[in-house]
A and B are shown apart, each in its own frame.
Chain A
Amino acid sequence: MTRAILLAAASGIALTGAVYADAHSGKSITVVSWGGAYTKSQVEAYHKPWIEQTGNKIVSEDYNGGLAEIKAQVEAGNVTWDIVDVELSDAVRACDEGLAEELDMSALPDGADGTPAAEDFIAGTLDVPCAVPTIVWSTIFAYDKEKMEDGPTTMADFFDTEKFPGKRGLRKSPKANLEMALIADGVAADEVYDVLGTDEGVDRAFAKLDSIKDDVVWWEAGAQPPQLLADGEVAMTTAYNGRIFNAVAAEDKPFEIVWDGQIWDLDLWIIPKGAPNKEAAMDFLKFSTGTQALADQASWISYGPTRKSSSPLVGSYDGKPDLKMGPQMPTAPDNFKNALQNDFEFWADNQDELNERFNAWLAS
C-alpha cells in the first residue's frame, strides 16, 4: 500500500516536472503591461507577429504601474515577469536601484530606412541604460463637444470656471497637475520646472489649483476620465490621450482633445533583474521596438512611436481607413506647439514631499 502511494507520488512529481520542462523549452515569456486598449494595441502589433515568427508563447499580464511588484519579486529572488512596460520615472528608478537588467543598446535593430538605432530613436529617449522606449504618450485635457459648442482651447480655459462652468476631472496626484496649473497661470512650458523648483513656484501652482478645487472630481485609473466625461459627471477632464482617442474611435464619443499645454512622457520596456527567460524577453524587446512593430501599434492607439523611421509608416485606425492616425499623435506638429516633457528627475527628487503636501491640501 505504502509502496503504491510512493510510486504514484513519484510518477506525479515526474509528470509535473516534465510539464514544467516542456513549458520552458517552448519558451513562454510573461509580458506585463497596463491592460485595456493599450495592451490590446501591443497584442496586435507586438505579440501576435512575434509569436508567429518565433513559435514562442506569451503570457500577457496586467498591472497598475509602479515598481512595487517588481521590487517585491527581485528582492524575494522569485522573479516571474520577463518584460514590463513602465513609465520613464519608474524606468530610471528601477535602473538606479538595480531592479532591472542593463540592456545592450547596440543589439537594437537599425531602422527600416537603415538609420542606426542610436539615431533612429527620438533624441534623449535611449538614455536609461536599462530601458528601451516604445511610445510617447501624453496627459491632455478633453471635453464633450456636444455639450460645449465653443469649447476651451487653452490650458488657461481649463482653470477658468467662470468662462466654462462645470466640474473638472483631475488625476489624484500632484504629477502633471502642478505643471498644468503653472502653464495655465502663464508660465512658459520650458520654464515650468525651473519655477516649480522654488518654494514660491510650488505655492503658485497650489494657489492656481485652489481656484478650482471645489469643482474637481478626482480620478485615479486611466479608464475613469472617458467614463466621467461620458456620464456628464465633468465638463472637462485631464486624461491620457490614447484613452480619449479610444472613446472617440471605438465608441464614437463626441470628445475633443485640447493639446495646448500637454505633458508628454515615455513608456519603456524593462527586463526585471533575474527574469526567468531573459534571452527570449530580449528577443521580444528587439522585435517590438523595431520600425514596423512601433508603426503598427500606432494604428491601434494614438500613442506616438519613439522611432523616427516609424512615423512615415503610421497609417489609419484599424477598420476605419478615413481616420488617419498621424494627426492624432501627441508628437504631430499641430499638437506639439505648446508641449512639456515630464521631468522624471524633478519628480524622483520631489514626489515624496509634494505628494504629502498635495494630500494635505486635498484634505484641508
Chain B
Amino acid sequence: MTDASYQTAPLPGAPSDASGALLAADGTPLKQRLRQAMKVSRRRAFLLVAPLLVFILASFVVPIVALLLYQGAYNDTYEARMPASTALLQQWDGVSEPTEEMAAAMVADLAAARESKEIGKVASRVNQELSGTRSLMTKTARRAAKMEPPYLAALIDRDKDWADIETWGAMKLASTSLTPAFYANAIDMKYMPDGSFEDQEEQRQIYVSLFVRTLLVSGGVMIACIFLGFPVAYLIAHLPARKANLLIILVLLPFWTSLLVRTTAWIAMLQSQGVLNDMLVFLGVTSDDSRFSLIYNMTGTVVAMTHILLPFMILPIYSVMKAIPPSHVRAAKSLGATDWTAFWRVYFPATIPGIGAGGLLVFILAIGYYITPALVGGSDGQLISNAIAYHMQRSLNYSLAAALGGILLLGVLVLYWLYDRIVGIDNMKLG
C-alpha cells in the first residue's frame, strides 16, 4: 500500500487536516506516525537478527574475503622485513644483470633480518618461488654483517648462486606483496619476474588435474547417491509408518556414527585380505593370488564417500515423496496411464525438488571431502582438499592454500549459479 492512497482516499469520518491528510488521535499526521511505527519495528527486527549478522560477518564473510581471497593474493613477508632491497627489486626489470646497488641493499637487509631473527621467515618465502634459496639466504645472512664492498662480488663469493639471474628473479617475486603468483601456482602456471605467465614445468603440474578430479568424483558420488538413494527413499515413503520408522533409523544410524569409524569399516571390508575379497575367493570368483584392489585407490574413495553421503540424499528425497498426495498417481491411473507412465510422468517430476536438494547437498559436501580420500584414497584417490590441507599443515604455505581454496569457492559458486539457471534454486526442498 502506498502513502498516496491515504491522501487520495480518506476514510469517511476520519479526522483530517486542512490539506486533507489523515491525522492520528494525537493530531500528528497519520503518515508520520505510521513511518515512526515502521521504523521502530524495523529497528527491532534488525536488533533481533543483529547477533546472527555479526556472527556471520565475523565467522564467514570476513574470513572468506579477508583471509581466503586476500591472503591468496597478498603476502608481505618479504617486503615487511627487507625494505631496502624491496624498493630496488621492484624497479629492476627482472632480466638485466643485478646492480651493485641492489647487492648492497640485499646485504644490508640480510644482516638486519638476521639481527632481528626474522631471516627464516623471509628465506621460506623466497624458497616458495625457487627451491634452494632458503639455505642460500640463511647461509648468506650469517656472514652479511661482515661483508665489504663490492657487495655483488662478496655475495657471489659466498655462493655462486648469487650470480644467477634466477635467484634475483625469485627475490623480486617474493618482494612483490600484491601478487598473482599464488593464484597462478594454483592453476599450474608460473608468474615470471618480468610480469609474464608461463606454464608450470610438466613434472610439477598437479592442481588443475586435482580440481578436475574433485569435480568428477563429486559428480560421480552424487549420481551414485541418486541411483542408490531414490529407491530407498521410495520404499520408506510407501511403507506403513511402523516399518518406515525402522528403516529411517537404519538410514540414520550410520549417519550418527563417526566418519572415521565408517571409513575404517570400509577398509576392513574392501582390503585385499578383507571380508569381500575373502568371500569372493571362497566362492571361487577369483583366485587367492589375484584378489581385487578395491581400496587405497579411486574405487575405495568413491565407495566410501557414496556410503557416507547417502543419508544426505535419502532424507530430502524421502521428505519430498512423503508430501506427494497418493491421489495424483491414482488419478493418472484412472485416466488410463500404465504404472510406468504414472510414475514417470506424474510421480517422478514431483520428486525433482528433493533430488535437486539432495544432489546439491551431496555434491557440495563431496567437493570439500578430505578425511576419507586421505585414508582410503591411496595414490590416485586424492582430492583438492588434501592438497589444501597439505599446504596448511605441512608446507605452511598459507597463501597457496588460500589461493587453492579461493578457486574452489569460485568453482562452487559458478556451479551453484548454473544449478540455479538450469533447475532453479526455488525448486529445492529440504523437508
Residues of A within 8 A of B (CB): 64, 66-68, 71, 93, 95-98, 167, 172, 213, 216-218, 220, 231-233, 345, 348-357, 359-363
Contacts and interface: CB of A to CB of B under 8 A. Distances in A.
B379 A216 contact: yes
A351 B273 contact: no
12 contacts: A98-B118, A167-B272, A172-B379, A232-B273, A349-B135, A352-B395, A355-B394, A360-B203, A360-B204, A360-B206, A363-B209, A363-B210
Contacts of B379: 172, 213, 216, 218, 362-363
Contacts of B382: 359, 362-363
Interface string B361-394: 0000000000000100011101000010010111
B93 to A, nearest CB: 26
Name the residue among B119, B379, B380, B393 with the largest chain A CB count within 10 angstroms.
B379
Nearest to A68: B393
A361 B117 CA distance: 37
Contacts of B86: none
B35 interface: no
Contact of B374 (A220, A357, A359): A220
Given A66-B393, A71-B396, A97 B124 contact: yes
A248 B31 CA distance: 87
Nearest to A197: B132
A100 to B, nearest CB: 11
Contact of B394 (A68, A213, A218, A232): A68
Contacts of A220: 374
Contact of A96 (B119, B374, B387): B119
Interface residues of B, number: 39
Contacts, number: 88
Contacts of B32: none
Contacts of B301: none
A96 B273 contact: no
A11 B349 CA distance: 63
A353 B170 CA distance: 14
A217 B378 contact: yes
Given A355-B395, A359-B387, A98 B134 contact: no
A148 to B, nearest CB: 15
Given A359-B206, A359-B382, A352 B271 contact: no
Contacts of A352: 127-128, 131, 395, 397
B121 interface: yes
B319 interface: no
Ranked nearest first, the 3 interchain pairs of A and B with the lowest CB-CB distance are A96-B120, A353-B131, A97-B120
B273 A348 contact: no
Contacts of A350: 131-132
A363 B374 CA distance: 14
Contacts of A349: 127, 131-135
Nearest to A216: B379
A348 B134 contact: yes
B318 interface: no
Contacts of A359: 206, 382, 387
A93 B390 contact: no
Given A217-B296, A360-B206, A233 B396 contact: no
A221 B180 CA distance: 35
Contact of B204 (A67, A217, A356): A356
Nearest to A95: B120
Contacts of A217: 296, 378
A98 B115 CA distance: 12
Contacts of A64: 393
Interface in B263-291: 271-273
Nearest to A350: B131
B167 interface: no
Given A64-B393, A220-B374, A233-B273, 17 more contacts: A97-B124, A167-B272, A172-B379, A218-B378, A231-B271, A232-B272, A349-B131, A349-B135, A350-B131, A350-B132, A353-B131, A356-B204, A359-B387, A360-B204, A360-B206, A361-B203, A362-B382
